[in-house]
Amino acid sequence: MRVSDAKTPVFVQTETTPAKSSVEAKKGSFSLSVNGELEGDAEETFTGHRAFDLRSELREESQERREEWLRNRVIEMFPDAEVTEIAVENCDDPTQPLRFRYHLLAPQYAQVAGRRIFFHILPFQRSRPSPFSASERRNPVQFPYAWTETDAVRIRPPAGFVLDNASAPGGIGFGAAGGYNLTVAVGDNGQVIANRELTFVGTYFDAKDYPVVKQVFSEIQKRNTHTLALIKQ
Amino acid sequence: MKGVLLPLLLLSTNVMAYATNEPPDWVRQAARQEVPKYSVKVTSVVLFHEETLTVEPDGRRVMRERKAIKILQRSSDTPVATRVYNVKSGTIRDFQGWLVAPSGTAQAYEKNRILDVALSQQAVYDEARVKVLESRDADAGSIFAWEVVEEEKTVFTQAIHDFQDEMPVLVSRFVLTLPATWEAQGVIFNSEHIDPQLSGNTYIWELRNLPWTEREEFGPSLDALWPRLAVSYYPPSGNRAALPSLNNWASVSRWLSQLVDSAAEATDPVRTKASQLTANATTELEKIRAIGSFVQQTNYVDVQLNLTKGGGYTPRRADETLAKNYGDCKDKATLMRALLKAAGIESYLTTIYSGDRNFVRPEWASPLQFNHAIIAIRVPETVALPTVFEAPGLGRLLMFDPTDSITPVGDLPESQQGSQALILDGDQGALVRMPQLPARASRIESSVEAVMDTSGRIEARLQQEYFGQSGKPLLAVHKLRGEEGLKRKFEQVWSQQLIGMKLDRLEAVSRFEQNSLRLDARLTADRFGEVMQNRLIVLRPGMLAGIRTYSFKSRQRTSPIELNGALHQDSVKVKIPSGFKLDELPPPVMIETPYGTLQGAWTLDNDEIVFKQTLEIRSVTAPAAEFPQVRDFFDKVAGALTAPVVLISE
């Protein structure tokens, strides 16, 4: 940025917003049925640039259209889902976090295989692909801003089922670019509790660093799609 | 004298300014209508739409269009007023637009808001242009209205009125006024038959309360679903404008044949080229292939000239297209006809609708139903290809589209298969249904051999061969963007379902005459098997079999489901890592439905998990009422692709 001055104009680098100012936070409390259906309440909250991006998309739309947009967005994540009690809040108030709420019924969320049921522990992340599919790249990678993602999910297994050889993939650090952490715990009544946090502060990478960036997002995707097995007691 | 006139002129200007700002009565009247409650997806409704066509004895036509749209909710889809015209055959005499705010305050649009742009972005030069008026800044509750008057000189004695487009409609009307002694006949598609109201020699067709139509996956094009009126009018024989009376398909064929046949003359340059091309050909099919390949290489450039005299349907002379090495679909088909004629092979230009096999309706004989030209080649019994068929009265014909540069002789683009086309042969010409190729002609054969380690990572060799239309999307990428583009596409598609996928090598071999594309890939995927506590590995062999192409987002359906025939034959072998053994296999799948069949089985063969699947999609148009069954079938197909196999440590 150039700061004008009649005698000594100067160029200064503008500050970038920290990752904690652009947060995408997702919460859900669900139950899983014996035929693999996932049902429960979900809430997604967005701040900073993340909220701005979504508000830009929704700005021209009526409240009804915004809710329809949200319904379609959820169905993209959970094909065949029934989405009810939809609420889009604070879309026109940039001083508040943008918030989506809905009740979800997602058939065939988990897969039933003989005695076991396999399910993803991060419902909001499982269908999110890595942004990098090409094996090579000629141009630098540039993210528009630093950001943070958090997921707090509780999934209650069907009665009579317990975890089978459960594991947690753990976290990874990306050095100065940020880090990822995923914890999995078992709460009351066998409820599976997953907490995830991704912080990404690197916004520019030379093309020569592309293999590393690709690998990082591939590792993130692996953890985002972590599966647990339940077995009938 | 000037001094006397000036005050009158000023007065007149003021009145005009007032008159143009205040919308006409028809707008105010339309605005008073009660609007029903629509789906949230509907952003605007057409309150009133009227096209009034007045035909003069010499065939000239004046079309006045009036339309009023109510904006129901703010959205990024801004309503736009458009009128297409041809610079040689027509003029826009007048174009006015108004925006009425929810408060009732009206504003006329300035003339400089009306843009005049070329209709086609691809055409080098095109006489077709369009006037455009955008309704910017229209709040919910506003009414956007316009009136346009077009004058046209044409040889056509037919017209189409679209009662509907993307919006629901309250009133839509077509008014036709003919000279005395002329007659008209109309047919309405996609709606119940209605008789026109007749007053003198004015005919009025009107439909009301047309609901909104939602775009749906694997559905017909919306153009083929919306109600439309097709009108033919008949001047008395011997009329001074020499206008044709198109009352059946033979008359359309006769009229178009006289526009197209003379251009297909086998002149000396054409004969010389035909001799060169067929010098090494020993059979008739070889000659057709040699000529077909050459014409496919001729550059496609759309130039529409002289529409006044049927120019949109008149090809350039074949020797001119040959010399310039470019032309549009009818030019290319005509060049091929001329070259075939020089080689002693008879053929016919054929008009077709490219884009939807159900669009053309036999009950209305009109060239206006088509948007593309291909070729029908008369062939002997020795030529046996899936695109050969027996056309009543025309004999054994081979259909071919020389504009499609990636579909060889013996195949037809998917959207043309099974569709109605008019073969032009003077009085003998006929509307016939194009051959529908069997699913086997569009098959994909896939074979994968993979080795998995104890971390779930696989190294795999994937060989796929695409036949017929199944390979066209990839071939198009290959042709436009080369090996690199194809590799990108492959990576993009497969990385959606194979986590941590890395493509090590991809070889593509296109065998044009065999109509196939073969891919040979070597790849790795870090998380193909999901490992749990080093004791269980879950893998989904079907994820290596193919890409999920068929999916339906909605649970409801209003339009028919159009499926194109295809056959997938997949074989996947995954070597089990040492220290692990099989714990659970999915049960075999065997489903037979009117929409397709699926046979799938998972077996253990020594230390390999073997998955074999045959999926056949039938070429059918299923009514919307059958949607639950169609969807259930494709859910099961998707289920087979993701069915898990469980391995356990020994």
In whole angstroms, give the CA distance from residue B319 to residue B325. Answer: 10
A139-to-A205, A208, B351, B493 alpha-carbon distances in Å: 9, 9, 47, 21
Does B17 have pLDDT greater than 80?
Answer: no
- Tell me whether residues B73 and A222 touch, CB distance under 8 A: no
Could you tell me if residue B604 is inside a domain? yes
Question: Which residues of chain A neighbour B488 with C-beta distances below 8 Å?
Answer: 133-134
pLDDT at B106: 92
Give mean pLDDT, residues A111-135.
90
In whole angstroms, give the CA distance from residue A78 to residue A42. Answer: 13
Question: Which residues of chain B neighbour A219 with C-beta distances below 8 Å?
Answer: 500
Residue range A164-197, pLDDT digits in tens: 988 888 899 999 999 999 999 999 888 999 999 9
Does A129 have pLDDT greater than 50?
Answer: yes
* A129 touching chain B per CB within 8 A: yes
Neighbours of B59 (CB within 10 A): 19
What would the DSSP string read from start to end of B210-265?
EPP----TTPPPGGGTS-EEEEEEEPPTT-TT------SHHHHHHHHHHHHGGGG-
3-class SS at B300? strand
Closest chain B CA to residue A75: B553
In whole angstroms, give the CA distance from residue B261 to residue B228. Answer: 31
Among candidate residues B317, B290, B316, the one with its CA nearest the CA of residue B303: B316
* H or E element that contains A201: none
Question: Which residues of chain B neighbour A133 with C-beta distances below 8 Å?
Answer: 488, 491-492, 495-496, 501
Of B73, B530, B531, the CB nearest to A62: B73
In whole angstroms, give the CA distance from residue B501 to residue B496. Answer: 9
Domain ranges (residues) in chain A? 18-232
Q: In sequence order, what are the residues at sequence separation of 6 or more whose Cβ sits closer than 8 angstroms to the Cβ of residue B449?
A: B460, B461, B573
- Tell me whether residues A166 and B533 touch, CB distance under 8 A: yes
- Tell me whether residues A68 and B40 touch, CB distance under 8 A: yes
- Residue that wins the pLDDT comparison between B187 and B89: B187
Give mean pLDDT, residues B582-599.
96
- Tell me whether residues A135 and B491 touch, CB distance under 8 A: yes
* CATH, residue B580: 2.60.120.1130
In whole angstroms, give the CA distance from residue B528 to residue B304. Answer: 54
Give mean pLDDT, residues B254-283.
95
Per-residue pLDDT band for B125 (boundaries 50, 70, 90) equals low
In whole angstroms, give the CA distance from residue A189 to residue B21. Answer: 71
The burial of B193, by beta-carbon neighbours within 10 Å (0-12 exposed, 13-18 middle, 19 or more buried), is given as exposed
Same domain, B289 and B412: yes
* A8 touching chain B per CB within 8 A: no
In whole angstroms, give the CA distance from residue A220 to residue A218. Answer: 5
pTM: 0.82
Same domain, B408 and B452: no
φ, ψ at B113 (rounded to 5°): -80, -10
Residue range B163-177, pLDDT digits in tens: 999 999 999 999 999
Does B3 have pLDDT greater than 70?
Answer: no
Residue B613 near residue B635 (C-beta atoms within 8 A): no
Same domain, B451 and B478: yes
pLDDT over 90 percentage in chain B:
68
List the single range of B223-227, B347-351, B579-583 with lowest mean pLDDT. Answer: B223-227
In whole angstroms, give the CA distance from residue B402 to residue B372. Answer: 11
Give mean pLDDT, residues A70-90.
93
Residue range B415-459, pLDDT digits in tens: 899 999 999 999 999 999 999 999 899 999 999 999 999 999 999
Give mean pLDDT, residues B564-593.
95
What's the number of CA atoms in the CB half-sphere (13 Å) around residue A42?
Answer: 28
pLDDT at B400: 98
Sign for the pseudo-dihedral over CA of B559, B560, B565, B568: positive
Question: Which residues of chain A neighbour B499 with C-beta distances below 8 Å?
Answer: 130, 218, 221-222, 225
Same domain, B403 and B494: no
- Tell me whether residues B495 and A130 touch, CB distance under 8 A: yes
Domain that holds residue B149: 11-234
* A81 touching chain B per CB within 8 A: no
pLDDT at B483: 87
State the ipTM, two decimals.
0.81
Neighbours of B261 (CB within 10 A): 17
Of A108, A165, A222, the CB nearest to B533: A165
pLDDT at B302: 65
* A64 touching chain B per CB within 8 A: yes
Question: Which residues of chain B neighbour A164 with C-beta distances below 8 Å?
Answer: 532, 536
Of B74, B644, B646, the CB nearest to A60: B74
Residue B398 near residue B346 (C-beta atoms within 8 A): no
* H or E element that contains B98: strand B90-100
pLDDT at A1: 81
Does B574 have pLDDT greater than 50?
Answer: yes
Same domain, B454 and B430: no
Per-residue pLDDT band for B312 (boundaries 50, 70, 90) equals low
In whole angstroms, give the CA distance from residue B575 to residue B529. Answer: 12
Q: If you average pLDDT over every residue of chain B, what do you get?
A: 89
In whole angstroms, give the CA distance from residue B232 to residue B184. Answer: 6
Of A76, A113, A221, the CB nearest to B584: A113
Joined together, the tokens standing for residue B160 give 């189409």
List the single range of A206-215, B9-18, B509-518 with lowest mean pLDDT. Answer: B9-18
* A39 touching chain B per CB within 8 A: no
Same domain, B524 and B550: yes
pLDDT at B89: 82
Give mean pLDDT, residues B66-71.
97
Pairing status of strand A147-156 against strand A23-32: parallel
Among candidate residues A27, A100, A8, the one with its CA nearest the CA of residue A58: A100
Does A9 have pLDDT greater than 90?
Answer: no
What would the DSSP string read from start to end of B314-369?
-PPPHHHHHHHTEE-HHHHHHHHHHHHHHTT--EEEEEE-SS-TT---TTS--GGG
Same domain, B433 and B446: no
Among candidate residues B401, B398, B405, B400, the one with its CA nearest the CA of residue B380: B398
The DSSP 8-state label assigned to residue A207 in this structure reads G
Could you tell me if residue B2 is inside a domain? no
pLDDT at A209: 94
Give mean pLDDT, residues B597-618.
96
Give mean pLDDT, residues A99-121.
93
Q: In sequence order, what are the residues at sequence separation of 6 or more whose Cβ sits closer than 8 angstroms to the Cβ of residue A136?
A: A210
Same domain, B91 and B128: yes
Strands (E), B362-457: 372-378, 388-391, 395-400, 420-423, 430-433, 443-452
A63-to-A66, B40, B146, B475 alpha-carbon distances in Å: 5, 10, 29, 44
Joined together, the tokens standing for residue B89 give 């055959």
Beta bridge partners of B46: B69, B169
Among candidate residues B641, B630, B637, B639, the one with its CA nearest the CA of residue B217: B630
Q: In sequence order, what are the residues at sequence separation of 6 or more whose Cβ sits closer than 8 angstroms to the Cβ of residue B6?
A: none
Closest chain A CA to residue B73: A62
Could you tell me if residue B6 is inside a domain? no
pLDDT over 70 percentage in chain B:
93
Same domain, B525 and B581: yes
Does B6 have pLDDT greater than 50?
Answer: no
- Tell me whether residues A111 and B643 touch, CB distance under 8 A: yes
Among chain B, residues having any CB pair with chain A shorter than 8 Å are 40-41, 43, 73-76, 140, 487-488, 491-492, 495-496, 499-503, 526-527, 530-533, 535-536, 538, 551, 553, 555, 584, 586, 635, 639, 642-644, 646
- CATH number for the region A18-232 comes to 2.60.120.1130
End-to-end CA distance of chain B: 113
Could you tell me if residue B4 is inside a domain? no
Of A67, A72, A221, the CB nearest to B499: A221
pLDDT at B323: 95
- Tell me whether residues A129 and B501 touch, CB distance under 8 A: no
Same domain, B171 and B294: no
CB pairs A-B closer than 8 Å: 96
Residue at which a domain ends, from B437, B466, B494 = B437
What would the DSSP string read from start to end of B465-478?
EEEGGGGHHHHHHH
- Tell me whether residues B500 and A221 touch, CB distance under 8 A: yes
Of A108, A114, A134, the CB nearest to B491: A134
pLDDT at B372: 92
Does A54 have pLDDT greater than 90?
Answer: yes
Per-residue pLDDT band for B348 (boundaries 50, 70, 90) equals very high
Residue at which a domain ends, from B372, B404, B437 = B437
- Tell me whether residues B586 and A113 touch, CB distance under 8 A: yes
Number of domains present in the structure of chain B: 3
Q: If you average pLDDT over every residue of chain A, what do you get?
A: 93
pLDDT at B58: 85
Does B297 have pLDDT greater than 60?
Answer: yes
- Tell me whether residues B40 and A129 touch, CB distance under 8 A: no
Same domain, B323 and B366: yes
pLDDT at B129: 87
Give mean pLDDT, residues B2-10.
38
Residue at which a domain ends, from B437, B455, B481 = B437
Of A68, A134, A167, the CB nearest to B41: A68
Q: In sequence order, what are the residues at sequence separation of 6 or more whose Cβ sits closer than 8 angstroms to the Cβ of residue B9?
A: none
Instruction: Give all strands of the β-sheet with B158-162 in edge-to-edge order.
Output: B158-162, B228-234, B183-189
Same domain, B42 and B162: yes
pLDDT at B97: 95
B532, B556, B647: best mutation site toward chain A, by most A Cβ within 10 Å? B532
Chain-centroid distance, C-alpha B348: 23
B165-to-B70, B168, B214, B228, B573 alpha-carbon distances in Å: 14, 8, 11, 10, 50
Per-residue pLDDT band for B16 (boundaries 50, 70, 90) equals very low
Does A14 have pLDDT greater than 80?
Answer: yes
Could you tell me if residue B294 is inside a domain? yes
pLDDT at B241: 63
Give mean pLDDT, residues B27-50.
93
Does A59 have pLDDT greater than 90?
Answer: no
The DSSP 8-state label assigned to residue B639 in this structure reads H
Strands (E), B250-316: 299-300
Residue range A140-173, pLDDT digits in tens: 999 999 999 999 999 999 999 999 988 888 899 9
- Tell me whether residues B538 and A129 touch, CB distance under 8 A: no
Of B74, B533, B555, the CB nearest to A61: B74
- Residue that wins the pLDDT comparison between B639 and B242: B639
pLDDT at A66: 93
